[in-house]
Structure 1
Amino acid sequence: MKKNIYHFIIAILVIGGMTSSCDHLDVTPESNWGVDEFYSNETEAEIALSGIYSLLATDNVYGQALSIIMESGTDEGYYNRRYNENWTVGLYRHTAADNYVKNLWTNLYSSINMANMFNEKLKKSAFEEEEYNRLLAEARFLRGLCYFHLVNWYGDVPLRLNFTKDQSDNHLAPSPMKQVYEQVVEDLQFASEHLYHANNPKYESGRANKMAAHGLLARVYLKMSGNPLKEDHYQDVIEECEIIINDGWHGLHQSAGDNLGYRKHFLSYIENNYDLRESLFEISFSYLRELGIMVDGRIGALNGVAFSYGGGQDGYPASYAMFNTTPNHRNAYDENDQRKDWNIANYQYTKKGDIVEVTSAMAPQFCPGKFRRWEPMNWEDLTNTPASGTTEPYMVLEKVSTLSKSFTSINFPVIRYADVLLMYAEAANEINNGPTAKAIEYLNAVRERAGLGAIETEKPGAIANHTNFFNEIVDERLRELCFEGLRKQDLIRWELLGTKLAETNASIKGDPDYISTNESHRAYLRSGNFFDENKHLSLPYPSQEVAINNELNQKAGW
């Protein structure tokens, strides 16, 4: 059955215009049925929806682009290879011909085209009205998510709401950002009305649901309230967050007596145990692999704890440590914050099989730990030296039959309940020109899960006025939501990206281990050095798209 589903999905991808992603597959797309004969029962509809999810799990979307590469180049972390500039977008060295610029655009529009085809071809007469609307709602949720990424990263973009069959449909001028955001809101509102709640027995983990739609609506409204649109939608943010909070089913993962709720929640992504109470929506690499679909999740392989042993072979929890955390990120945590040691790893596994402590932010192994594939079996090994001819034991956290050297099955969070609480707190502060009691309560809920005391007791100045509380939210979102693909867009909407990059470079140069003549250390400064406020708050249009769309003119400066 899995093989049949796999072949059906590939055929749908081909029909939807995504043939380039399927060149390596030994699949014949021709079949005895066409688009107009498909979408006539629940099985076919589910297959088509799985095809959209599979595109979101490719390298060019959540597999590595949105989750890792696009997110690099902030006060959260940066690309650390001194001898190349492969992660061009994070280094602000990209051009309009850059593959990352092109592939994100192409894959998002391919997903949108599949959603549009689904909306057009789903046979209403074949379903009860409730089921018909639920299926449409899932496709519109995914389309809204894709357009949200497009408008965030590229600004004004062509708003394609009909199935594009061939190149003759390609010529379409970009719509203003406001219009695109309004379409995203419309799609997500429809989704929030018709999707299953995650507590519905019919709901399948890893798929869109009612509260995920409300959570994304809150995020969209928060973005619309900031740069560059700067409309006031803070009350809309409050209302969407209140729907989730007052519903009462979702909440923070708590761990009685040990303050390890944060760690245990992220282990659920690593181990593929869906923690639906806190995770409103996640990209499910494990579910798609179970269907037999090859997906490209590199979560924990590119941005995980360094593991060099094994000679680059499958069977080991390899992590290539390409992404460094910054000194100012490390310094953002209070001493007792349980998130620090989880988010920022302080160890590595060497080629010789030795677990070594990493204490310097200038070390190339000073890496994120949030999506770690492994941990030491014995933590004292960080300071021990193994006997000659032996290796120190480690524990694999990923739950798969065979470990891949390149890909992981670690799921990636799109929206969590903790984010809902912080979005509410931020919006309430803006509306009230200072923190409300609820804003403080919800911030404290996030802090207390991390083992910290009430902010009014430990940091009373942070709640003294609007500015202080806003600055606390800026820092708290870094501590709580780091490496979840949110930081760069947060800094852009706050108009703080350039400021935080300058602060990051200052923290690097001010680190006691920084050596100005060390080429590797100087390479850490590239993102801050190359960033241009006039160019890098959005991506250029891909040069290939400008060439084939007569209505799409390149942005000034590109």
Structure 2
Amino acid sequence: MKNTLTIRLLSIVLIALGTSCGDILDVKPESVWESDSFYSNPQEAEIALAGIYGVIASDFGYGRDLTISLEAGTDEMYYNRSANENWGYAVYRNTPSDDETSNLWTNMYEAINLSNLFLESISPSSFETEEAFNALVAEARFLRALCYFNLANYWEEVPLRLTSSKGQDDNHAPAASLTDIYAAIVDDLTYATEHLPHPADNSFVSGRAHRFAAHGLLARVYLKMSGYPLNENHYQKVMDHCEVIISDGYHQLTSNADTTGYRQVFYDLIGGNYNTTEVLFEIAFQNLRDQGLLDVDGRHGNLNGINFGSSNTLGDPNGYAMAGVYPSLANLFDKANDKRYQWNIASYKRTGAGDIIRVASELSIRDFCPAKFRRWEPLNYADLDVEGENESYVALESSPSQLYRNFTTINFPVLRYSDVLLMYAEAANEVSGGPTSLALEYLNEVRNRAGLENIEAASPVVAADQQLFFEELVDERARELCFEGIRRFDLVRWELLGDKLAEAKTVVEGHPDFSSSNQDHLSIIRPANNFDPSKHLSLPYPLVEVTINQSLNQKESYQ
């Protein structure tokens, strides 16, 4: 049976590549496109590859589910709608029939199947050089590895499909071992490190994968393999891949004397400017929106952003603010000196009447929200202390006159250079039985950019002890990387998710504003109350999958 691609996918990816209306009209109007003729030249291969990016950037991937609704319910943010449990996994009341579970599963496997189809259909004879052919193959393998890594993080053992689906029988696949899954991921990413371009090369396209993104993702994979559930020791490999990135010298932390380098990184992501020296890989919603790909949805800054109040006006930077911030995260910051605190956590909101005011309490669940991907900020921060209506604000997205009510154009960082530095520091601490000079240096780079002194000066005992240094890195990764879709990944591999939820609950209940009769306050501690380590360290297989896939049985804890 021949593989087919629907005309809808073709039209999507043509738009993603910026193909003109005239070019589309020149395409033969088939109802389906057969794979043996689809990748007959480099342009068609690029079109197909853009389609894979479009899938993982949708609402069911990096646009919402993977990075917001499924990432809530850690010690950094929680689902703040007390009257319902729509984000089931965030409050640990999830079931196999939840939409967010099945949507992410389907999204990742759709991208994997398109990657497999791409790899089976692309031909070296269509390219002038072997290098150009290998680079596109490497990019498809990078995306396939990324999707399998996400699946393994959330579900652990999953079916391993390395060829495209050609019929219904291909759906019947058992869950592979984690050893086999990670071996496939490492194989794909290793190939990507060898054949993807350097970000300084003329062939590199911003918003797409390059070789150091592959090295960084490999470091993250080996870090995961070193923790729960495999608990193997791959820390030296983590260091090796991080060192490749660091020693090259292209990547560095952003420094900005006018604001802060940290703040500038997110101004760039929000405004659609590619900061390729710090951001190794990002999901480019801005570019996809610019090309008219309207069903690729970014919700960053909307669902996990600053409360804007009710507005139906076209062009207003709406913020539904459905994620609240735990006070325990706020307590990790040196609030007087750490320049990341005011950027990461909302200190202001806009009322429905148009008054921009300060957030009243850390337990104001719809106001004390993530601010890292903010869509707007006050034109004059002095207005926060002045009562009034229709106060001016600045829309931060690149096209403020064309803002969408429900969707944003804010690019999402999958991997940043600060993460590389912190991964190296963590691995070096494990390999050497304590912090090495380089581990201290790389942690200090991240701290210094935030306005903090070296860890040796701030806490000499931490700088000299393996366990205390690890605990410092646990906190530092929260301060630096909060709301970037990494915290759950970290806490699970450290086997600390239950402990940190309990700590977050203790801080809430001990807060001076807490009331045991306030339903909003009680809703904040739902994750800690509902969390069961015997079932909630991974997701159940989607009900639709175990119904269709006769070789996959539901996990015992969800039967």
- Superposition TM-score tier, normalisation by shorter sequence: over 0.9
C-alpha distance in 2 between matches for 1:273 and 1:259 = 17
Superimposed CA distance per residue, residues 434-478 of structure 1 (whole angstroms, 9 cap, x where no aligned partner): 100000000000000000111100121211211000000000000
2:23 aligns with none
Q: Write out aligned runs for 1:7-86 (5 A).
A: 9-10=9-10, 30-31=30-31, 33-86=33-86
1:415 aligns with 415
Amino acid in the other structure paired with 1:436: T
C-alpha distance in 1 between matches for 2:314 and 2:550 = 46
Q: Secondary structure at the match of 1:557?
A: helix
Runs of 4 or more above 3 Å deviation:
6-14, 28-33
Superimposed CA distance per residue, residues 75-131 of structure 1 (whole angstroms, 9 cap, x where no aligned partner): 101011111101111111110111111111001000000000000000121112111
Deviation (angstroms), 1:313: 3.6
Which of 368, 371, 375 matches 1:369? 371
C-alpha distance in 2 between matches for 1:235 and 1:167 = 43
Deviation (angstroms), 1:29: 8.5
C-alpha distance in 1 between matches for 2:283 and 2:511 = 36
**Seq. identity, %:** 53
Q: Write out aligned runs for 1:176-255 (5 A).
A: 176-255=177-256
RMSD: 1.7
Q: Write out aligned runs for 1:258-273 (5 A).
A: 258=258, 260-273=260-273
1:455 aligns with 455
Superimposed CA distance per residue, residues 199-225 of structure 1 (whole angstroms, 9 cap, x where no aligned partner): 111211000101000000000000000
Q: Secondary structure at the match of 1:460?
A: coil
Distance 1:379 1:420, change over 3 A: same
1:496 aligns with 496
Q: Secondary structure at the match of 1:63?
A: coil
Which of 370, 379, 383 matches 2:381? 379
CA contact (8 A) 1:9 1:50 kept: no
2:442 matches 1:442 = yes
2:527 aligns with 527
2:331 matches 1:346 = no
Q: Secondary structure at the match of 1:307?
A: coil
2:169 aligns with 168
Deviation (angstroms), 1:287: 1.2
C-alpha distance in 1 between matches for 2:12 and 2:337 = 51
Superimposed CA distance per residue, residues 155-206 of structure 1 (whole angstroms, 9 cap, x where no aligned partner): 1111000010221211111110111011101000000100011111121100
C-alpha distance in 2 between matches for 1:41 and 1:252 = 39
1:393 aligns with 392
Tell me the TM-score normalised to structure 1 length. Answer: 0.94
Distance 1:381 1:45, change over 3 A: same
Q: Secondary structure at the match of 1:281?
A: strand
Deviation (angstroms), 1:9: 3.7
Unpaired stretches in structure 2, ≥5 consecutive residues? 1-5, 15-27
Distance 1:306 1:32, change over 3 A: closer
Amino acid in the other structure paired with 2:395: V
Tell me the TM-score normalised to structure 2 length. Answer: 0.94
Amino acid in the other structure paired with 1:394: Y
Deviation (angstroms), 1:528: 0.7
CA contact (8 A) 1:224 1:232 kept: yes
Superimposed CA distance per residue, residues 466-496 of structure 1 (whole angstroms, 9 cap, x where no aligned partner): 1000000000000000000000110000000
CA contact (8 A) 2:7 2:32 kept: no
Distance 1:29 1:170, change over 3 A: farther
1:90 aligns with 90
Deviation (angstroms), 1:10: 3.9
CA contact (8 A) 2:190 2:214 kept: yes
CA contact (8 A) 2:13 2:50 kept: no
Amino acid in the other structure paired with 1:525: I
